[in-house]
Amino acid sequence: MTRGAVGLAAAGLAALGAATLALLAAIGRVTLFTAATVSHLVRPPFYAREFATALVQIGFFSLPVVGLTALFTGGALALQIYAGGARFSAEAVVPQIVAIGMVRELGPVLVGLMIAARVTSSIAAEIATMKVTEQIDALVTLSTDPMKYLTVPRVLAATLVMPALVAVGDIIGILGGYIVATGRLEFNAAAYLQNTAQFIEPLDIVSSLVKGAAFGFIAALMGCYFGMTSSRGAMGVGRATKSAVVAAAVLILGANFLLTEAFFSL
Amino acid sequence: MITFENIHKSFGPNHVLKGVDLTVDQGRSMVVIGGSGTGKSVLIKSVLGLIQPDRGTITVGGRATTRHDRDAFLSRFGMLFQGAALFDSLPVWQNVAFRLLRGRLKLPRDQARATAIDKLRQVGLGEDVADRFPAELSGGMQKRVGLARAIAADPDIIFFDEPTTGLDPIMAGVINTLIRDIVTDLGVTAITITHDMSSVHAIADDVAMLHDGKIQWTGPVGTLNDALDPHVVQFVNGRADGPIATIR
């Protein structure tokens, strides 16, 4: 091996090592932030007004985007299942597959991703801007812990309200499938609803709601983490927002796999 | 009395404070001057624990800042930030009454609102401003609201970080006068960070100049114009030529 090749390999290894260390450091920082958030969840003071505001901002104002996403997805799912099922004369399974697909998988994941886009970005941009404009420092000088005042209400609200949003998404998704199946594919309305209701099991609903809570926690936590740790300036705010959304989306998909695997084993 | 003893602070390779020693006597108004990036803001943020010095001791009333009960300690301070740092999501009166509505004070809302309106009047703003949001106010009005928030809980020490930055000369004069009146009327100890010489003469009892991470000069404001230190002479007269490098 020539000296040039050895040098190149060493530089490559050094870059890999540096990237690995940076990744581990980032994981460590997020873990510490998560631990701090959880510890603050159970220690007063609690800011009820901020929690209520977050509940409305994250829950109520996300309903339109959640509803539309679920409605279109449910409708498209019904068409796809019908087309696929027709290949082996199984068109009749549309109600069951739409129901299980929406409740166990698409409902929580799509609502999670939409919340990552809408809520995580908003939280990260808001908190990062507060940092840039010294509002976080101002909170500290006013004897208020930014973790308690900014992070805890948002994370708690997202964790509690997301199961409700997912439930709404599941129902509207099934409704989307119902509208397409009865209007376009000539399914009997009563039979469609009966098949849906009979096929869904309590564990399906539990898995959907648990995923919702986990995704809500991740979405709000990432927004708060990247907002709190953003660098100064407009570029810092932009970078924090982008990083928060990407991290939340990836973590939601990763958590979805782990939770699916866990419920699969039950 | 606030004392800084041998305060050092670095940000990465940038050694900003290199052994600051400074004493601010009780009831006096100290103005710290110095070029941009010399660590003036770092100095006051170190007192409040917003930035941790790498080395050295800061004492307030004879006790190290690290040995105070944090909540009780912070309740002694008010701070006006450079950009006012008002909370966008809260109306003006809630910004002013922020500390009054929470923590150990926790006044009823109507009482906190009445106090906030009283403080707004002290800085020359009417009750009509109380329910507006910070984004609806001019820069000068935001500074006044920030000032009202700084004095809302009757602190005995107030920090002013670049209080006139971004304001027109008339509004800067108004803010300087307000600060002087507040410091005199309330009898508080004040530290002001600025490089606006008109502010220095309007606000200061004493002046300290920070240069190259250390206190270069300190003395009563009346002696500032007669100072022989070439750094002070260059800064006070706004000259490009002198010992202070103009490219930083």
Q: Between A45, A137, A143, which is nearest B85 by CB?
A: A137
User: Does any CB of chain B come closer than 8 Å to the CB of residue A137?
Assistant: yes
Asked if the C-beta of B103 comes within 8 angstroms of chain A's C-beta atoms, the answer is yes
Mutate to test the interface with A, among B48, B51, B52, B79 (most CBs of A within 10 A): B79
Q: What is the pLDDT of residue B240?
A: 82
Q: Are B50 and A140 in contact (CB under 8 A)?
A: yes
Looking at residue A266, what is its pLDDT? 77
B240 part of a folded domain: yes
Asked if A135 has any chain B CB less than 8 Å from its own CB, the reply is yes
The burial class, CB within 10 Å (0-12 / 13-18 / 19+), for B159 is: buried
Cα A43 to Cα A225: distance, rounded to the nearest angstrom: 19
Buried/exposed code over A171-185 (b: 16+ C-beta within 10 A; e: otherwise): bbbbbbbbebbbeeb
Sequence-separated (6 or more) residues with CB below 8 Å from residue A50: A149, A150, A153
Measure the CA–CA gap between B208 and B206, rounded to whole angstroms.
Answer: 7
Residue B211 lies in a domain: yes
Instruction: Give the Cα separation of A217 and A34 in Å (integer).
Output: 10
Number of Cβ within 10 Å of residue A88's Cβ equals: 7
The DSSP bridge pattern shows strands B55-60 and B2-11 to be antiparallel
What's the domain count of chain B?
A: 1
Evaluate if residue B242 carries a pLDDT over 90.
Answer: no
Tokens 């001057």 correspond to B33
The residue of chain B with its CA nearest to that of A53 is: B89
- Please judge whether A143 and B45 are an interchain contact, meaning their C-beta atoms are less than 8 angstroms apart: no
CATH no. for residue B206? 3.40.50.300
Indicate the domain borders of chain A. Answer: 45-264
Is B113 inside any structural domain?
no
Q: Helices A3-41 and A152-183 sit at what angle, rounded to 10 degrees?
A: 100
Q: Tokens 């008002």, residue?
A: B86
Q: At B94, is the secondary structure helix, strand, or coil?
A: helix
Strands across the sheet containing B55-60: B14-24, B2-11, B55-60, B63-64
- Per the structure, the complete domain to which residue B227 belongs is given by 1-76+157-163+189-248
pTM score, two decimals?
0.88
> What does the H/E/C string look like for A35-70?
HHHHHHHCCCCCCHHHHHHHHHHHCHHHHHHHHHHH
Helical (H) or strand (E) element with A152: helix A152-183
pLDDT score at B94: 96
In a domain, B179, yes or no: no
pLDDT digits (tens, 9 = 90+) for A196-255: 999 999 999 999 999 999 999 999 999 999 999 998 888 999 999 999 999 999 999 999
Whether B122 and B148 have beta carbons less than 8 Å apart is answered as: yes
Section B113-140 average pLDDT: 94
For residue B88, being part of any structural domain is answered with no
CA atoms of A155 and A56, how far apart (whole Å): 13
With contacts defined as CB-CB under 8 Å, which chain B residues touch A45?
Answer: 102-103
Dihedral angle computed from the Cα positions of residues A227, A230, A233 and A238, in that order, rounded to the nearest 10 degrees: -60
CB A69 within 8 A of CB A171: no
Binding-face residues of B in 11-50 toward A, CB within 8 A: 45, 48-50
Q: Where are the alpha helices (DSSP H) in A59-120?
A: 63-86, 94-100, 107-115
Q: Which residues of A touch B85 (CB under 8 A)?
A: 133-135, 137-138
The DSSP 8-state label assigned to residue B127 in this structure reads G
Tokens 């104002």 -> residue: A61
Residue B247 confidence (pLDDT): 53
pLDDT, block means (10 residues), chain A with 266 residues = 84 94 94 95 90 96 97 96 92 94 96 96 97 94 94 97 97 97 95 94 96 98 97 91 97 97 88
